[in-house]
Structures are given as structure tokens and as C-alpha cells.
Chain A
Amino acid sequence: MIKIRNLQKSFGDNLVWSDVSFDIHDGETIAIIGRSGCGKSVLIKHFIALLYPDQGEVFIDDKEVFELPYTELRKIRQRFGVLFQGSALFDSVSTFDNVAFPLRYFTSQTEEEIRENVNNALKMVNLEGVGPKSTAELSGGMRKRVGVARAIVHEPDYIMYDEPTSGLDPQTSDEINELMMDMAENLDITSIVVTHDMHSVLKISERVAFLDQGALSWLGSLEEMKHTDYKPLVNFMKASEYQITNKSKESV
């Protein structure tokens, strides 16, 4: 369980958000939504102390991450899988080795087991056979999917996806959505999905956190979101709906 308490972050004079408090329960899928630049990526980086806040706390199973000694923090981080917004693939090694990275160093798996697990993960994201390719040869969407494969390959307890479907075609987006749902159900993983793709939100999430105006301005279940009359969230959803209908018109 992740507990976020009174978190505040600023970069110099730029206050990103303040007083953010909420819980993420084990096994659930929570979507963090909000406009571009509202601080979604910054928020999830705090969960594993890649960034430190001005004030506030994050507890993972009652351990406060910002106060943990570095060795313990690293153990906690190993329980996470993270898909970064720009994929963040290591460009010095092949696609296969990217996915194999967390297994090579932090598990005692043999090379054979690693090969099997990596190939399975690549299969899950529909990228069988690209293992030997260098990451520079991959398209943006493929990179994203390799990033997903790398995040799930060591079967973490928590997965954070930063914009998993942005920049993907609708069909691939759907496949990624399916994949995230499968992961959540089959492996009992807690999923944190940062997105502004409402399709994704409606399809996979159980709860929704809406960041707006420098704060966590709305938090509730998916059902509650569908019927909310909280103005900024309604507007946010309307804008997306408009996009969605526009897209479907274009495709006709």
C-alpha cells in the first residue's frame, strides 16, 4: 500500500502542487489524470524517491521512502516497475538486453531462464523477434512497448506507467490497455497509470486521481467520475470526449 501525505513540490519558484494526500491500495489500478504540465510525472517519481519533495511523506507498506537509508530504498525500488514517459531505453545495449537488465543484476536466474522470461515479456507486448535489434531501430510505439516489457519482466508488486498509450495508434493502444489489465488481474499487481487518454482510464482504472490547479483536486472511483458534476473534471473529460469523437470521425 502506498500512502501519500501532504506532499508539496516546487522547482525554484515554480510550485508544481501542494498538499497532495491519497492512498493507493494493493491490487488496485489507479489512474492519475490531468493536463499537460500539471505534475503527473513529477508526482510518480516521488513514490520511489527519484525526486524529493519540499515537504510531505510517502509511505510504502509503512516505510517512509524519503527517510530510508539508500540500501533499503533500493530494495523498495526493486519492487516497482516503471515505464517512463520517454521510454528511457538504454541505448548502449540491444532491445533484448534492455528487457533483461533488471533480471541480470538483481535475480539469480540463469541465462536460459532470463532468455525465456525476456522472450515472454516481449511476446506479451507483441514484439516477438525484435530482441536482437538495437533500440535506435525501433519506432516510438515499439520503444514504448519495450519499456512496458522491461517494467513487467521481473514481476514487480507495483507498476507505474507514464503515458503508456500516448503516441500509439488506437489498435496498439487497445492492446496495451488489455495488457495492463491482464497484468493487474493475473499477477495481482498494483498499477498506477498516468495518462490523459480517457479511453484508457475508462477501460482499465478502478479509481481516478485528478491533478489540477496545483493540487489533487478530485479523487474517486470510476463510477463516481462518470457521474461527477465537479466542473474542472467535467471540462477535462469533455475536452477528451471531443477529441475522441473527432478522432472517430476522422477515421471514418
Chain B
Amino acid sequence: MSPLRQFGEYCNLLYKGVRSATEVGMYRSNLTNELVKIGYESMPIIILTGIFSGAVMTIQTSYQLQSALIPKSTIGSIVSKSMIIELAAVVSSLVLAGKVGARISTELGTMRVSEQIDALESMGFNSVSFLVIPRIIGGIIMFPVLYLAAAAFGIGGGVLAGVVSGALPASEFMEGARTFFHPADVLFGLIKATVFGYIVTSIACYKGYYATGGAEGVGTSTTRATVLGCIYVLLADLILATILL
């Protein structure tokens, strides 16, 4: 199917959900369920991702800045700034495009090919506001929360790596981090995470909701959902950086 037709289908899906948006309250339990699945259940992997990317960045930055002229605290500034404005949002969203995106797309795809979506519609449900909208709202709410966790644990991982490798003491790292800290950076990161949350969940819902052709079809749509999710996250990252910075 041509990209334009696909985009039309995607918009149509969202329209169908928004049309019965008032009912989303009826499906509160679905939303709670999604908040738990997207947020709570992704926390461990996001914390891990944060710690490791912060640690690796610290070690690499200190390796690149081996000069007596540059104060060591600069490492802390660079690492914390990069985590807050870029890495925490993008890296965790890429991880979540795999974890959350695949889960959503497989769930909906299986419901589609086993006629569960038809069954919902046949009972009088708006299957989109029942299934899709809670998942997208869940993503929009939880990605920013996960971003904050990734950023905090990323900086923590950076401090730890600095101390363990002997590159710089924790106090100097934090001093550097504080010197160049702007609250606006966090806002920027939160906006990015919100947009990424929308992108990952809505694409996964779209691919899953329109899956066809049995188990293989569900596999195909899940692969598409994760790949497209990653691509659009990166694209959106570029666009947001151009607009907002």
C-alpha cells in the first residue's frame, strides 16, 4: 500500500477513536492497565539503559578530554547535559519502541486475526476508543516519566563511572552538572519524550489494528511497528531539535 494511503488509514484510525473520546472514561480500567504495563513494567530496563549510557558517556568523555587545560568538572557538564537533552529521551524511546511497540502491536494484531476486534465491534464497542486510545494515552503519560528516570539514573551512572574509573570525584561531576543546568533543558526532554510516546504507541496500534493474515501477518506487522517506530522517533528528534533549540 502506498505511504499516502497508509497515512490516510492511520488518520482515519485516530479519528475513529477521537470520535468516541468521551467514552474513554468508560474504559478507565484499560488505561490503568496500560499505565502499569508501559510505565511500571518498563522501569527496570529504562533504569538499566540510563545507568549504562551515563557510565559509558562519562568514560568516553574523560578519555577525549585528557588535557590539563580543561577542568574535570566539564565532564559532568557534558554528560548530564547530553543525558537531559538527548540521550535519556532518544535511547529510552528506542528501547521502548522495541519493548512497548512490539507488545502493543502483537496484542492488537492477534486480536485482529482471531476476530476479537470484530467481536468487540459486534457487541457495539468502538474498538478504537476501547483498545487504541488507552494505549496511546498510556504512552503519552508514561514516556516522560520514564525519560525522567532515564535522565536521573544516567547522571547517577555517570557519577559512579567517574568515581570508579578514577576520572573525577563525584563532587566535581555534580558541580559541572549544576553549572550548566537549565530547567528549560528538562522541559525540552519532556516534550521530546511525550512526542516519542505518541509516535511509538500510535504506530504500534496502527500496525496491529490493521494486521492481516494469521500468525505470520502479526509477525510482519510487529516488525514494521518496531522499525517504523524507531525511524520516526529519530526523525522527530531531528525535527524537534531544529525547531526547539
A contact set with B: CB distance below 8 Å: 45, 48, 50, 70, 74-75, 77-78, 80, 82, 84-86, 88-91, 101-102, 105-106
Sample of 17 A–B contacts (CB below 8 Å)? A45-B118, A48-B121, A50-B118, A50-B122, A70-B16, A70-B19, A75-B124, A77-B122, A77-B124, A82-B122, A84-B119, A86-B115, A88-B114, A89-B116, A90-B116, A91-B110, A91-B114
A80 and B122 contacting across the interface, CB-CB below 8 Å? yes
Contact of A48 among B19, B110, B111, B122 (CB under 8 A): B122
Main secondary structure of the interface of B (DSSP, over half): helix
The reply to whether B125 and A105 contact each other, CB–CB distance below 8 Å, is yes
Does B215 make an interface contact (CB < 8 A)? no
Q: Which residues of B contact A84 (CB under 8 A)?
A: 115, 118-119, 122
Q: How far is the CB of A177 from chain B (nearest CB, A)?
A: 23
B 24-76 contacts with A by CB, 8 A: 26
Q: How far is the CB of A231 from chain B (nearest CB, A)?
A: 34
* Residues of chain A within 8 A of B126, CB atoms compared: 70, 74
B211 to chain A, nearest CB (A): 15
Q: How far is the CA of A74 from the CA of B123 in the complex (A)?
A: 8
Asked whether A78 lies within 8 Å of B115 as measured between CB atoms, the reply is no
B contact set with A: CB distance below 8 Å:
16, 19-20, 26, 110-111, 114-116, 118-119, 121-126
Task: List the 7 closest pairs (A to B, CB-CB), nearest first.
Answer: A78-B124, A88-B115, A88-B119, A82-B122, A74-B124, A77-B124, A84-B115
The docked-state distance in angstroms from the alpha carbon of A48 to that of B119 is 11
A106 touches B124 (CB 8 A): yes
Contact B123 A88 (CB under 8 A): no
- Given known contacts A70-B19, A74-B124, A75-B124, A105 and B118 CB-to-CB distance under 8 angstroms: no
Contact A101 B122 (CB under 8 A): no
Contacts of A74 in B (CB 8 A): 124-126
Contacts of A90 in B (CB 8 A): 111, 116, 119
Bound-state Cα–Cα, A85 to B119, Å: 11
**Which residues of chain A have C-beta atoms less than 8 A from B121's C-beta?**
48, 50, 77
Chain B residues in 8 Å Cβ range of A101: 123
Contacts of B111 in A (CB 8 A): 90
Which residues from A are CB-within-8-Å of B116? 88-91
Cβ–Cβ < 8 Å partners of B114 in chain A: 86, 88, 91
A88 to B112, CA, bound (A): 10
Complex Cα distance, B130 from A106, in Å, reads 13
- B16: A residues at CB distance < 8 A: 70
Neighbouring B residues of A50 by C-beta, 8 Å: 118, 121-122
Distance between Cα atoms of A198 and B3 in the complex (Å): 47
A86→B126 CA distance, assembly (Å): 21
Q: Is the CB of A77 within 8 A of B123?
A: yes
| Assembled-state Cα–Cα distance A91/B114 (Å) | 10
In the complex, the answer to whether B119 meets A105 with C-beta atoms within 8 Å is: no
Closest beta carbon of chain B to A53's beta carbon, Å: 16
Instruction: Please give me the residue from chain A that is nearest to B119 by CB atom.
Output: A88
Cα–Cα distance between A105 and B27 once the two chains are bound (Å): 9
CB pair A106 B118 closer than 8 Å: no
Cα of A60 to Cα of B152 in the assembled complex, Å: 59
Query: Which residues of chain A have C-beta atoms less than 8 A from B20's C-beta?
Result: 70
